[in-house]
Amino acid sequence: MRQLYLVALVLISLSGTVTASEPERVEPPFWWTGMAEQSLQLLVYGRDISRLEPETNSADVTVLGTETVENPNYLFINLNIAADTDPGTFNIALKEKGKARFNFEYTLRSRTPGSASRRGFDSRDAIYLITPDRFANGNPGNDNSDDTLEGPNRQHPGGRHGGDIAGMQQHLDYIAEMGFTAIWPNPLVENDQPGYSYHGYSATDHYRIDPRFGSNEEFRQFVASADARGLGIIQDVVLNHIGSGHWWMKDLPDSDWLNGKGINKGEFEITNHSRFTPVDPYASEVDKRGFLDGWFVDSMPDMNQRHPLVANYLIQNTLWWIEYAGLSGIRADTYAYSDPDFLQQWASRIHREYPNFSIVGEEWTRSPALVSHWQRKEDEAVSGGRLKSMMDFPLHYALREGLADSESWNSGLITMYEGLAHDFEYPNPNRLVIFAGNHDTSRLYSQLDGDLNLYRMAIAYIATMRGIPQFFYGDELLFESPKQRDDGIVRSDFPGGWQGDKANGFTGAGLSEEQLEAQSFTRKLFNWRKRNPVVHNGKLMHYAPLNDTYVYFRYNDDKTVMVAINKGSEPFAVPTGHFSEVMNGKKSATDVISGKQHDIDTLSIPAREVMVLELE
């Protein structure tokens, strides 16, 4: 009898009787009316769901068709949302042979007024970069999560330490009072990996904030609270890869959803990191594919963005977070590792919905020519995946090496001078994001051998140079690390962010005199920068180093600012005649930091000092 029952089950299955389950996931989870693009593609996941046909009960939302993949557990529903559709909830029935098997509701929300015209970030801004897990633990109750693998271990440099969205929100006033106008947190979406999950670059759910950081709604509230203080939030977006623990990996939609022949070792290659191959006129196809299709590391599967459904999923996910959270910008991780045609689709769609929105791409290279390749002209439509803003890694290296190396005809300050001279290669240097350090580099203070004078020079440079400055959390407190990359130590805990900390960087309690001096210097400079358009978009003129001193000017019709970096062991008596193109007619100078006034004719830059001076 039992054998007959099993045979009957098999026959029923083979006959095509529905075995589908109701949807387990629908992504995006909701959408908005009034978007420039009326089409929307839903990913619906459930057992054998691909055999079902969708139908809506809305006169304004119509089903254009469906798409299926190799895996029958996925159904992609293409919808059209009429331009005059009202916000609200409608029903989608999943039918077989005209009979509804399952129903689910889908909601279209109303966009925030002015959403499409939101301002992004530009040279008026100064960005504060935070590794959220290491900044402040505002809610110890979320350090563990029932549905994630890794718990807290603050003693382990590579473990989770408990910093979260609540911690960042509690210290928004500190960030604003330091003179910053935007915050870039490392990725906050779920990273349910067995270890080293705190950094955020191994997404396991694109639509969920990691519960150990908080909830989606808490992130949304954080963005709103930041906005109320004049702080925009820049989301760190990873297009190139996901985490090996992503929910897709247990039941991949398609055999070509990822790059590589499979998901086991030996079935995929690690990227060759040959970042010049996309632009190299002599590059072989094997090298191009080795760069674009190779996995970043074993635990980061590489997305095949040539797959139309993958591309559309990633595009819609980015748009969803911009609209849902109210973002002011995006930092695109490992930008050049993604498929160039996809990058163009992605950037074009974002700018169609948000014409003034800002995206900065990461191209980690010393080559200005390669960075320039990815930057587009201001009046140019998005093409080839080019962006208005890129991370200025060449200037980053020039700054660090120029300050750390001894002075000679081809080292030291001349490195900074020549690094800046390469600006002829860029369509718009003022749109580049400049920085002295970030989450992937050694700490600035350590790279300068713990020299507070050199540190001040670097901070003054970042605050007054052309472009959009980005500042790494903790550098204002002289955080240290090995010179050789050690991520866990580089991304160390901000003092005062945890109960029981002996020092508190937010209040100044327990800090050393050097830390207080560095913090005060940074605060004064960036608050001054915030008030002075001359360093936002003024002209720039610099002079070749003279007597171990590098001098440049920012100027417009209203103001002239002089920055003088003296690495020498002797004071630098400013030869006003040498700088007469800018200094002619100026009588006095006011030190931005001390407020002290100087007579131009007797102006001298102390040994191993930097001065930022307003000329009158």
CATH code for the domain of 497: 3.20.20.80
Could you tell me which of 495, 430, 494 has the C-alpha nearest to residue 465? 430
Whether the CB-CB separation of 163 and 216 falls below 8 Å is answered with no
| 143 is a catalytic site residue | no
Residues 438 and 499 in one domain: yes
Residues 373 and 398 in one domain: yes
Residues 106 and 128 in one domain: no
Instruction: Among 111, 139, 159, give the residue marking a domain's end.
Output: 111
Query: Residue 54 sits in which domain range?
Result: 19-111
Given the residues 218, 362, 363, 548, select the one marked as catalytic. Answer: 362
Residues 309 and 339 in one domain: yes
What is the rounded average pLDDT of the residues 317-329? 98
How would residue 17 be classed by pLDDT, with cut points 50, 70 and 90? low
Please give the helix or strand (H or E) that residue 88 lies within, else none.
strand 88-96
Instruction: Among 496, 514, 531, give the residue marking a domain's end.
Output: 531
> Which alpha helices (DSSP H) does 261-339 contain, by range?
285-292, 308-325
Residues 106 and 133 in one domain: no
Whether the CB-CB separation of 368 and 425 falls below 8 Å is answered with yes
| 285 is a catalytic site residue | no
Instruction: Among 111, 132, 166, give the residue marking a domain's end.
Output: 111
Given the residues 192, 218, 302, 333, select the one marked as catalytic. Answer: 333
The tokens for 164 are: 């979260």
The tokens for 304 are: 């095949």
Residues 467 and 565 in one domain: no
pLDDT of 541 above 70: yes
Residues 210 and 303 in one domain: yes
**pLDDT 10s digits, 340-398:** 999 999 999 999 999 999 999 999 999 999 999 999 887 787 888 899 999 999 999 99
d(CA 273, CA 564): 38
DSSP letter at 181 equals: -
**Distant-in-sequence, close-in-space partners of 91: CB < 8 Å, separation ≥ 6:** 56, 57, 58, 103, 104, 105, 106
CATH code for the domain of 567: 2.60.40.1180
Beta-bridged to residue 441, according to DSSP, are: none
**pLDDT 10s digits, 436-471:** 999 999 999 999 999 999 999 999 999 999 999 999
- For residue 149, being part of any structural domain is answered with yes
Number of domains in the chain: 3
User: The pTM is what?
Assistant: 0.96
Residues 359 and 397 in one domain: yes
pLDDT value at residue 12: 37
Residues 571 and 478 in one domain: no
**pLDDT 10s digits, 171-223:** 999 999 999 999 999 999 999 999 999 999 999 999 999 999 999 999 999 99
Residues 349 and 494 in one domain: yes
What mean pLDDT value characterizes the chain?
95
